[in-house]
């Protein structure tokens, strides 16, 4: 599932979390403890960034709710059907070449 920039979620078992290190630290990831020192958080918030967008977070929450209601498999089938139809119709247009050659094609047309 993709979401707007500044949104997302991460689930990690607590026993695994202590062994992971974020690639970058940001506003919520660590706390300044001295002039030249910081302490990285020991919980999942160490992956949070300063960028946030409340409207997008509400949209992401709604998307997760809809995925749970509709079922990810049903969504996948619908995306595949629409993408197959799009590929068929676009292939009929002169001077356009579709370059989707993967064994399992996504819902994006290349």
pLDDT (tens digit, 9 = 90+) per residue, 27-61? 778 888 998 988 888 888 888 777 778 888 888 88
Ordered by start, the domain boundaries in the chain are: 1-70, 71-110
SS3 state at 34:
strand
The set of residues, in sequence order, having a beta carbon less than 8 Å from that of 71 and lying 6+ positions away, is none
- Helices 54-70 and 72-91 pack at an angle, to 10 degrees, of 100
pLDDT at 68 over 90: yes
pLDDT tens track for 9-19: 778 888 888 88
């Amino acid at each position: 599932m993709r979401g707007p920039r500044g949104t997302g979620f991460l689930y990690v078992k607590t026993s695994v979390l202590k062994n992971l290190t974020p690639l970058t630290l940001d506003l919520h990831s660590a706390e300044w403890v001295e002039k030249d020192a910081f302490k990285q958080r020991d919980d999942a918030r160490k992956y949070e960034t300063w960028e946030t967008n409340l409207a997008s977070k509400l949209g992401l929450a709604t998307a997760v709710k809809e995925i749970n209601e509709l079922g990810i498999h049903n969504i996948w089938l619908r995306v595949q059907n629409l993408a197959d139809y799009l590929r068929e119709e676009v292939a009929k247009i002169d001077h356009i070449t579709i370059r989707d050659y993967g064994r399992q094609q996504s819902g994006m047309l290349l």
